Structure 1
Amino acid sequence: MSVTSSTHRTAEEIGRTARGPRPVPELGEQRAAADLSHVDTVLANGLRVLAVRKATVPLVEVRLWIPFAGDDELHPATAEVLAETLLTGTAKRDRVAIDTELALIGGEIGVGVDPERLSISGNALASGLPTLLDVFADTLTGASYVDTEVARESERLVERLAVARTQPRTIAREALQKHRYGSHPATREVPHAEDIVKVTPEGVRALHTASVLPRGATMVIVGDIDPDKVIGDLERVLGGWAGDGSAKVLAPLPELAGGDVLFVPRPGAVQSQIRLSAQTVPRTDPRYAALQVTNFVFGGYFSSRLVENIREDKGYTYGAHSGFEFTGSSAVVNVDADTASDVTAAALLETRYEFGRLGLVPPTESEVESARQYAIGSLVTSTASQTGLAGQLTALASTGLGFDWVAAHPERLAAVTVDDVAQAALDFFAPGRFTGVVVGDAELLGPKLTALGGVTVGEPS
């Protein structure tokens, strides 16, 4: 018979012994990635396909990534309406028929769009893959964009966009994009409601014909599948998806230079948004692994220096974070924090201090090892599921990388040294490399930010 003690012990008491604090267990040895069978090939119509067998559960994930850039001023709005109405009907199936067929195979499909890509994501029981692919093919080749459906979804979009444009994070993101890249098409992430009203069904259908193209696109399929058989099935099912030319790739982004932070007044705001950014290197660069570890040390996870400073020690924010943003072959590191207005200037000062400290007081062996283990562990965890692996592979598609890069990356992270991290800190996290925006109330923030220096004042949002 077991006996339960009635004496409650605190976490601190549990973590100590008579000889002192209980030692933290040694980190376990990193296991090698599973050798998953996969195929990476290009179909006759120009579509690149990455098919990976991951039979952990009898499900399958499908991701289609189509470059979808456009220079026309109305392109962002038309693309948004296209994404909302792509699944509302084809010549063979109406909206109800699509939903019914997907429900019968335990599946679903979603569509999203941004200035760089049109993405179509689906999942289903593995046994339902033929039906899922048939629905994909039907929408790619026969989407009808019926006038009433376009009108209905456009009305909903107008309402959603009106709300989105009042959100502080949306305002800060748009301000950052314009500050970094001016009038580049990449900055037009959220269409204007007045442009949505101008979109016509004819315009949506024309955009589909001109831009929903297989050449240059990538499809990722991960699940309980036979990769070689899937390739044959795709050649047959998607044989009718063709078109002149290739999907349109977003024009290269200009190189991001450091400089003053732009203060964007937002009258009456009780919180401020700090958004800083600097040019880095893409995943294809040999220095990327060291840069990734360096980012984790700086602000990429909860035990980072930035979080320890402005969240844990100073209490300026509930959350601060740094991470990478990849667009085509370009890569930047972003630093985000939302703060109360009265501590925004102080938080910006401390963030700049941490940039400088990272280069002048390089990370210790312990800091590097903790960040390295987190980087490896988070990669392994994120690719352990079919959904996660499909997402990772899709993210790599724009630079031509695939499964082999994912499988080999833990070894690259393991090889990163303290000296590598120290050099990456000097090369990529120097304070002068960063620019960005602060969005907040001018009356409360203006004098403090001006006194801090390195800040210019822009137009109110």
Structure 2
Amino acid sequence: MNAAHRTAEQIGRTDRGPRELPSLSEQRAAAELNYVDTVLANGLRVLAVRLATVPMVELRLRIPFAGTGQGYAARAEVLANTALTGTAKRDRIAVDTDLALIGGELDTRVDPERLRFSGSSLSSGLRTLLDVLGDALVSASYAEDEVERERDRLVERLAVARSQPSVIAREALQRRRYGDHPYTKEIPHAEDVAEVTAEQVRELHKNSVVPRGSVLILVGDIDPERAVAEVGDVLGAWTADRSAPELPVLADVVGGDLQLVHRPDAVQSQLRLSARAVGRTDPNYPALQLANLAYGGYFSSRLVENIREDKGYTYHARSALEFNPFGASLLVEADTASEVTAAALLEMRYEFGRLGLVPPSESEVDDVRQYAIGALLTSTANQPGLASQLDALTAVGLDPEWLRAHPGRLAEVTTEQVAEAAREFFAPRRFTGVIVGDADLLWDALDSLGGAQLP
């Protein structure tokens, strides 16, 4: 017997009206973590955590890697792309083969703050995973042919990347927020990369790939004490007489006009707004986190409901907290058609003001609280998610106990505290940023709206 097809609206209603939604269940508490957190004789901090969901282990190694001067970002990018292409005892094929035999992978990335090795393997292959890593840390060869091959590939990729609107907007926003600080050098210029030599990369590795100040995180089906002992055995030969280079202090974001960056003939605009925030160690952080979610931090937020669902100005709109070693900033972004750019900016500013003048209600705060706690517990319930969370926490001196206690902090935030955070951190005057688009199409409307300027 086939039942007639019913629409979602019909399913959601009864003869007496809409069906009542079931009440939210209580969030479960964060689980106790079995871990060891120690510093080895060579200065490397090791955090090993047992999470035996699957017989795997996740690895994250973060090495502070700040640098200045012309071409530094290019040399760092080439190093990250060639660190695993061969060592004193393994060529590229041997590296790949040894990792494949343990169901493993290892990758390297760099940004203005750090060099990061990340990977995974079967738990039984941890020793091999560490050996491949240690081999690269101590004796990466940076052979001439490997460096040249990866360098040429990078030049091609960077040329394409720098033509992308999102990359143009990101670079413009970083300059607007932080000027010429090294933190803004996220993507090197292709012409700088083209001049990098293998000898320069070897010298950079020798001077900057050092254990003191670095953090290694292991999360998986492991015995933490045994894992730390293995790290000591394998990486004990990685030594240096200096600490890893840290970024110079980063100034706070200061409010001001938005800068219009001309992109001729663009049919879309990228809006990027930013303001100073506080980091995870600040007592106001839990309330700010909930205020940000209410503004634009998830799909049912005010900003998304306004300019995406109601007005259709954009498919993508969001707000987020961006963290750095010295604090945090708020980022609000949306991509719009040129003809509605000014209107979308008006609504973004309107929602800034409304969040302070008409703060989130008790039910709104409960919704974002449940979302925040649920998202945190979900993201840390698997090995890759927990490893990445701990990587972010250790960067600012925190440990797993902060992670375990944070759901409780979120649960204690009051509606009044969220309202206060909304007034303080989302005041329109605190924001600056950039708009990337065709200035010939955008300027008249933006000039009439105010708060924008040409370069």
TM-score (normalizing by structure 2): 0.99
Segments ≥4 residues shifted beyond 6 Å:
none
Question: CA offsets per residue over residues 205-227 of structure 1, 9 Å max, x none?
Answer: 00001000111111110000000
1:22 correspondence with 2:24:
no
Q: Which structure 2 segments of 5+ residues have no match?
A: none
1:441 correspondence with 2:441:
no
| Contact 1:252/1:329, CA 8 A, preserved across alignment | yes
Which of 241, 245, 248 does residue 242 from structure 2 map onto? 245
Distance across 2 between alignment mates of 1:11 and 1:324: 35
Deviation at 1:40, TM superposition (A): 1.1
Which of 102, 119, 133 does residue 99 from structure 2 map onto? 102
What SS class does the counterpart of residue 198 from structure 1 fall into?
coil
Q: Which residue of 2 aligns with 1:264?
A: 261
Deviation at 1:32, TM superposition (A): 1.2
Q: Which residue of 2 aligns with 1:52?
A: 49
| Contact 2:33/2:400, CA 8 A, preserved across alignment | no
Which of 126, 150, 154 does residue 153 from structure 1 map onto? 150
Deviation at 1:112, TM superposition (A): 0.4
Distance across 2 between alignment mates of 1:270 and 1:50: 48
What SS class does the counterpart of residue 436 from structure 2 fall into?
strand
Distance across 1 between alignment mates of 2:214 and 2:249: 17
Q: Give % identity.
A: 64
Q: Which residue of 2 aligns with 1:204?
A: 201
| Contact 1:356/1:430, CA 8 A, preserved across alignment | yes
| Contact 1:329/1:398, CA 8 A, preserved across alignment | no
Q: Which residue of 2 aligns with 1:391?
A: 388
Question: CA offsets per residue over residues 94-136 of structure 1, 9 Å max, x none?
Answer: 0000000000000000110000000000100000001000001
1:350 correspondence with 2:347:
yes
Distance across 2 between alignment mates of 1:98 and 1:242: 22
Q: Which residue of 1 aligns with 2:316?
A: 319
Deviation at 1:36, TM superposition (A): 2.2
| Contact 2:155/2:190, CA 8 A, preserved across alignment | yes
Q: Which residue of 1 aligns with 2:65?
A: 68
| Contact 2:61/2:216, CA 8 A, preserved across alignment | yes
Q: Which residue of 2 aligns with 1:339?
A: 336
Pairwise CA RMSD of aligned residues? Answer: 0.7
Which of 10, 15, 20 does residue 13 from structure 1 map onto? 10
After the TM superposition, which residues 218-297 of structure 1 pair with which residues of structure 2 at under 5 Å, given as runs? 218-297=215-294
Letter in 2 for 1:123: S
Letter in 2 for 1:191: P
Q: Which residue of 1 aligns with 2:300?
A: 303
Distance across 1 between alignment mates of 2:78 and 2:316: 34
Q: Which residue of 2 aligns with 1:81?
A: 78
Question: CA offsets per residue over residues 339-381 of structure 1, 9 Å max, x none?
Answer: 0000000000110000000001111011100000000011011
What SS class does the counterpart of residue 399 from structure 1 fall into?
coil
Q: Which residue of 2 aligns with 1:182?
A: 179
Letter in 1 for 2:243: S
Letter in 1 for 2:66: A
Distance across 1 between alignment mates of 2:430 and 2:135: 48
Q: Which structure 1 segments of 5+ residues have no match?
A: none
Deviation at 1:153, TM superposition (A): 0.5
After the TM superposition, which residues 130-149 of structure 1 pair with which residues of structure 2 at under 5 Å, given as runs? 130-149=127-146
Question: CA offsets per residue over residues 221-252 of structure 1, 9 Å max, x none?
Answer: 00000001111111111110010111011111
Letter in 1 for 2:274: S
| Contact 2:60/2:216, CA 8 A, preserved across alignment | yes
Letter in 2 for 1:269: A
Which of 428, 432, 451 does residue 431 from structure 1 map onto? 428
Deviation at 1:330, TM superposition (A): 2.0
Q: Which residue of 2 aligns with 1:194?
A: 191
Distance across 1 between alignment mates of 2:398 and 2:326: 11
Deviation at 1:178, TM superposition (A): 0.7
What SS class does the counterpart of residue 314 from structure 2 fall into?
coil
Deviation at 1:175, TM superposition (A): 0.4
Letter in 2 for 1:91: A
| Contact 2:269/2:337, CA 8 A, preserved across alignment | yes
1:376 correspondence with 2:373:
yes
Letter in 1 for 2:181: H
Deviation at 1:34, TM superposition (A): 1.6
What SS class does the counterpart of residue 255 from structure 2 fall into?
coil
What SS class does the counterpart of residue 62 from structure 2 fall into?
strand
Q: Which residue of 1 aligns with 2:358?
A: 361
What SS class does the counterpart of residue 278 from structure 2 fall into?
coil
Deviation at 1:399, TM superposition (A): 0.5
Deviation at 1:4, TM superposition (A): 3.6
Distance across 2 between alignment mates of 1:330 and 1:436: 18
Distance across 1 between alignment mates of 2:139 and 2:2: 67
Question: CA offsets per residue over residues 422-456 of structure 1, 9 Å max, x none?
Answer: 00001101000100000001111011111110101
Question: CA offsets per residue over residues 67-96 of structure 1, 9 Å max, x none?
Answer: 000012111000000000000000000000
| Contact 1:273/1:440, CA 8 A, preserved across alignment | yes
| Contact 2:83/2:136, CA 8 A, preserved across alignment | yes
Letter in 1 for 2:351: E
Question: CA offsets per residue over residues 276-296 of structure 1, 9 Å max, x none?
Answer: 000010100011011000000
What SS class does the counterpart of residue 264 from structure 1 fall into?
strand
| Contact 1:252/1:330, CA 8 A, preserved across alignment | no
